């Protein structure tokens, strides 16, 4: 009697563990299945193939006079191209790295110091800073000023004052010729 | 459940199989309600009506609206000029959002003053805060749909908030946009979600009401009804009071729609969206201004975003911050003062959120933001320990009718009714 009892108990015990395993395994499979179904539903929100394929653009910069800027559209965003004055280049180059919130040398931000090419989107929350057109506020560092929450950028597009965490972004670009740049 | 409660045989037949009429009778007719509720208790039903108004006008607007960057602005202008009664429907929807928020804000401050978030109503309160969050998301996405300058730049700034999250921030923003900037995919999904979310709100509202009817309404003196002598049936006493409140509300609402339909809007939203040019002074809709002020008050990007979301998050844990067993502010002399200071602080934040972020405004925003959190995280927990409350009345009836002799009279009157 006692013997059968024990073996019965052992049986249930073994059965119980087997069942635990089956239960855990089926929950795991169901979980993986649910995740596999959810993924396309979520990932469809990421950029579509045609959005990703947005072509690069070419810009003729020969028409930009010294001290003038133009704004072109690339990937739905404004890109600032500024033909800088001697003065602006000198100030930008003479700034000590220790004075900068996001330390970067001016030479690391341009391929030709005369032309500053950068994405005209404030790194704080995405507004387009002022300072492209003559007469617009250029901020305390004679570069760009974002009116949304008051970020000041210098003549190299580096953040000097305000809530923006980093410098204005530099897009990938190359000089095709002296006066033609390809962005993207 | 006695079937002969209803005289109509059809109603009886249905109710026997699907007790929907018994349910309505129980929750809307005989439902015992404290008899001392003041007009601040009207705002729950007003919020419900506002939600229905938004859903009805929204669905008919959707029949003429086109969610595409090239057509959205024009389709809204067409609603305003050519669609039959389109101007009315849009003005109702546009101003309805503002009135909805006014009602809900009053509803929330009512809860804050009378301690309606305290046990056993913590989940009821939490569901309410959840509704507020869903409403904010819905209104934000709705405001993007007309695709004006404020729509576009509001969407840009708010979605960019998520870029503050370390490491994954930029991927999240790209995911939200479906591209590299706020563009057509963004507008499309915002429309889909703007259509969906009000129905999610309906779901949470139902849970909110289930939780409410578990223990019934709180009341201005914050003690529980001690028996039937302290309550009245919901119908006709509160149905009629709610209808009266509703007619006042609708009068004010109609005045806004017909006489000042654009007062609470921003003129820049009648300029079509231009991704290359930010308006000189961008502001969100007025109901977001206090939160916007908190965002801007913190000089750090991630810090600002955390503070802004924290301002709502702190409401979720409020039932555990204010440990005082006394619900109503009427019996908490010190709390009462701080409540009004906090109220003024919220108004100040709203004002500051609309001002440019420079000079004295920045300083004031920081002070007001600090006070906001100080109120919840330091003052309320401290008050629950050090404050000496005033003596509570013994029952609702006594507080309504005065001295103890009157309490007996009150229940006698009740019996006659
Ligand atoms: C919680 C409820 C809702 C809130 C708070 C809300 C809020 C808003 C807001 C603030 C606007 C912008 C108004 C403007 O400036 O033109 C808007 C627009 C719109 N909403 Fe809603 N909405 C709600 C429910 C709905 C529902 C259920 C629909 C159904 C599809 C809807 C459809 C639309 C459409 C088509 C527009 C664009 C037309 C327009 O701008 O007037 N809304 N909504
Ligand atoms: S977006 Fe430029 S300062 Fe906030």
- A77, A125, A127 ranked by CB distance to B180: nearest: A77
* pLDDT given for residue B136 in this prediction: 97
For residue B301, how far is its CA from the centre of ligand 2 (angstroms)?
A: 10
CB contact under 8 A, A127 and B157: yes
The predicted model gives B170-198 an average pLDDT of 96
The predicted model gives B351-362 an average pLDDT of 89
Q: Does the pLDDT value for residue A10 go beyond 80?
A: no
Nearest ligand 2 atom, CA A125: 1
Chain A residues 145-164 within an 8 A CB cutoff of chain B: 146-150, 163-164
Nearest ligand 1 atom, CA B195: 30
How confident is the prediction for chain B on average, in pLDDT?
93
Residue B356 pLDDT class (50, 70, 90 cuts): confident
Contact (Cβ atoms closer than 8 angstroms) between residue A143 and residue A89: no
For residue A82, how far is its CA from the centre of ligand 2 (angstroms)?
A: 21
Residue B54, ligand 1, Cβ within 6 A: yes
* A134 vs A68, higher pLDDT: A68
* pLDDT given for residue A41 in this prediction: 95
Return all residues near B370 (Cβ < 8 A) that are at least 6 apart: none
**pLDDT one-digit tens code per residue, B260-314:** 999 999 999 999 999 999 998 889 999 999 999 999 898 888 999 999 999 999 9
Residue B410 pLDDT class (50, 70, 90 cuts): very low
**Which range has highest mean pLDDT (A48-57, A148-157, B84-93, B276-285)?**
B84-93
- Which chain B residues have any C-beta within 8 angstroms of a chain A C-beta? 153, 156-161, 163, 174-181, 183, 185, 189, 275-278, 280-282, 296, 299-301, 304, 356-358
The predicted model gives B238-242 an average pLDDT of 97
Nearest-Cα distance to chain A for B381, in Å, is 32
CA distances from B392 to A108, B224, B399 (A): 72, 11, 9
Asked if the peptide bond before residue B414 counts as cis, ω within 30 degrees of 0, the response is: no
Contacts across the A-B interface (CB distance below 8 Å): 84
The span from the CA of B160 to the CA of B174, in Å, is 10
| ipTM of the modeled complex | 0.81
Q: Whose CA is nearest to atom 3 of ligand 2?
A: A149
Residues of A with Cβ-Cβ distance to B185 under 8 angstroms: 47-48, 51
Contact (Cβ atoms closer than 8 angstroms) between residue B342 and residue B334: no
Closest by CA position to B361, among listed B373, B348, B347, B345: B348
* pLDDT given for residue B1 in this prediction: 45
> Is A172 an 8 Å CB contact of chain B?
no
Query: Nearest bound ligand to CA B144?
Result: 1
CB contact under 8 A, B179 and A149: no
For residue B142, how far is its CA from the centre of ligand 1 (angstroms)?
A: 5
Where do the domains of chain A lie? Answer: 1-46, 51-183
Question: B278 is written with which tokens?
Answer: 């930010």
* pLDDT given for residue B34 in this prediction: 96
The predicted model gives A12-23 an average pLDDT of 77
* pLDDT given for residue B415 in this prediction: 39
The span from the CA of B210 to the CA of B212, in Å, is 5
CATH architecture of the domain A51-183 equals 3-layer Sandwich (2.102)
* pLDDT given for residue B405 in this prediction: 38
Contact (Cβ atoms closer than 8 angstroms) between residue B208 and residue B128: yes
For residue B293, how far is its CA from the centre of ligand 2 (angstroms)?
A: 14
Q: Does the pLDDT value for residue A3 go beyond 70?
A: no
Can you give the length of chain B in residues? 417
Residue A13 pLDDT class (50, 70, 90 cuts): low
Nearest ligand 2 atom, CA A164: 3
**pLDDT one-digit tens code per residue, A81-120:** 999 999 999 999 999 999 999 999 999 999 999 999 999 9
* pLDDT given for residue A142 in this prediction: 92
Residue B358 pLDDT class (50, 70, 90 cuts): confident
What percentage of chain A exceeds 90 in pLDDT?
74
**pLDDT one-digit tens code per residue, A70-91:** 999 998 899 999 999 999 999 9
Q: Does the pLDDT value for residue B404 go beyond 50?
A: no
Alpha helices for B38-121 (secondary structure H) = 43-62, 72-81, 86-114
The predicted model gives B139-168 an average pLDDT of 95
Asked if the peptide bond before residue B115 counts as cis, ω within 30 degrees of 0, the response is: no
For residue B355, how far is its CA from the centre of ligand 1 (angstroms)?
A: 26
* A146 vs B281, higher pLDDT: A146
Nearest ligand 2 atom, CA A127: 1
Q: Which residue of A has its CA nearest to B159?
A: A125
* pLDDT given for residue B219 in this prediction: 96
Return all residues near A24 (Cβ < 8 A) that are at least 6 apart: none
* pLDDT given for residue A1 in this prediction: 43
Q: Give the mutation candidate from B301, B359, B363 for the A interface (greatest A CB count, under 10 A).
A: B301
Q: Does the pLDDT value for residue B326 go beyond 90?
A: yes
Contact (Cβ atoms closer than 8 angstroms) between residue A46 and residue A174: no
Question: Going edge to edge, which strands form the sheet with A142-146?
Answer: A142-146, A151-154, A159-161
């Amino acid at each position: 009697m006692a013997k059968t009892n024990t073996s019965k108990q052992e049986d249930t015990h073994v059965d119980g563990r087997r069942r635990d395993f089956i239960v855990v395994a089926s929950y795991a499979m169901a979980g993986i299945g649910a995740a596999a179904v959810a993924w396309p539903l979520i990932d469809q929100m990421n950029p579509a193939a045609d959005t990703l394929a947005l072509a690069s653009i070419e810009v003729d910069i020969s028409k930009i006079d010294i001290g003038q800027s133009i704004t072109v559209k690339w990937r739905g965003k404004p890109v600032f191209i500024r033909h800088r004055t001697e003065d602006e280049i000198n100030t930008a180059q003479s700034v000590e790295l220790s004075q900068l919130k996001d330390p970067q040398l001016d030479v690391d931000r341009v391929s030709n110091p005369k032309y500053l090419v950068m994405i005209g989107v404030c790194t704080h929350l995405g507004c387009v800073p002022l300072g492209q057109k003559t007469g617009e506020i250029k901020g305390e560092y004679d570069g760009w000023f974002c009116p949304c929450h008051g970020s000041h950028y210098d003549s190299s597009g580096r953040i000097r004052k305000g809530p923006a965490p980093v410098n204005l972004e530099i897009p990938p670009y190359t000089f095709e010729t002296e006066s033609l740049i390809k962005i993207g | 459940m006695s079937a002969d409660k209803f005289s109509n045989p059809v109603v009886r037949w249905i109710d026997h199989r699907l007790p929907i009429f018994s349910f309505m009778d129980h929750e809307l007719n005989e439902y015992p309600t404290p008899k001392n509720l003041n007009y601040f208790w009207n705002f729950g039903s007003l919020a419900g009506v506002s939600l229905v108004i938004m859903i009805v006008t929204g669905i008919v607007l959707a029949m003429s609206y086109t969610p595409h960057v090239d057509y959205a602005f024009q389709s809204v202008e067409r609603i305003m000029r050519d669609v039959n009664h389109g101007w009315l429907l849009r003005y109702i929807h546009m101003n309805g959002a503002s009135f909805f928020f006014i009602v809900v804000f009053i509803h929330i401050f009512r809860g804050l003053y009378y301690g309606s978030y305290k046990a056993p109503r913590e989940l009821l309160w939490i569901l309410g805060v959840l509704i507020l969050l869903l409403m904010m998301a819905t209104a934000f996405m709705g405001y993007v749909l007309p695709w004006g300058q404020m729509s576009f730049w509001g969407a840009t700034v708010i979605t960019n908030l998520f870029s503050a999250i370390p490491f994954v921030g930029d991927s999240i923003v790209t995911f939200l946009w479906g591209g590299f900037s706020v563009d057509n995919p963004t507008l499309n999904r915002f429309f889909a979600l703007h259509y969906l979310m009000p129905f999610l709100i309906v779901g949470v509202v139902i849970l909110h009401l289930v939780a409410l009817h578990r223990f019934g309404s709180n009341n201005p003196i914050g003690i529980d009804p001690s028996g039937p002598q302290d309550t009245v049936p919901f119908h006709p006493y509160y149905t009629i009071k709610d209808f009266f409140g509703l007619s006042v509300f609708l009068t004010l609402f109609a005045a806004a729609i017909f006489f000042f339909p654009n007062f609470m809007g921003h003129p820049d939203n009648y300029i079509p969206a231009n991704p290359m040019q930010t308006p000189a002074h961008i502001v969100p809709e007025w109901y977001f201004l206090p939160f916007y002020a908190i965002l801007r008050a913190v000089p750090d990007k991630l810090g600002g975003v955390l503070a802004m979301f924290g301002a709502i998050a702190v409401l979720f844990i409020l039932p555990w911050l204010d440990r005082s067993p006394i619900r109503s502010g009427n019996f908490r002399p010190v709390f009462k003062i701080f409540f009004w200071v906090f109220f003024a602080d919220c108004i100040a934040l709203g004002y500051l959120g609309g001002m440019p972020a420079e000079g004295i405004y920045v300083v004031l925003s920081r002070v007001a933001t600090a006070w906001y959190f100080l109120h919840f995280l330091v003052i309320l927990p401290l008050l629950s320990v050090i404050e000496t409350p005033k003596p509570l009345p013994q029952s609702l009836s006594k507080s309504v009718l005065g001295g103890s002799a009157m309490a007996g009279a009150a229940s006698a009157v009740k019996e006659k009714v």
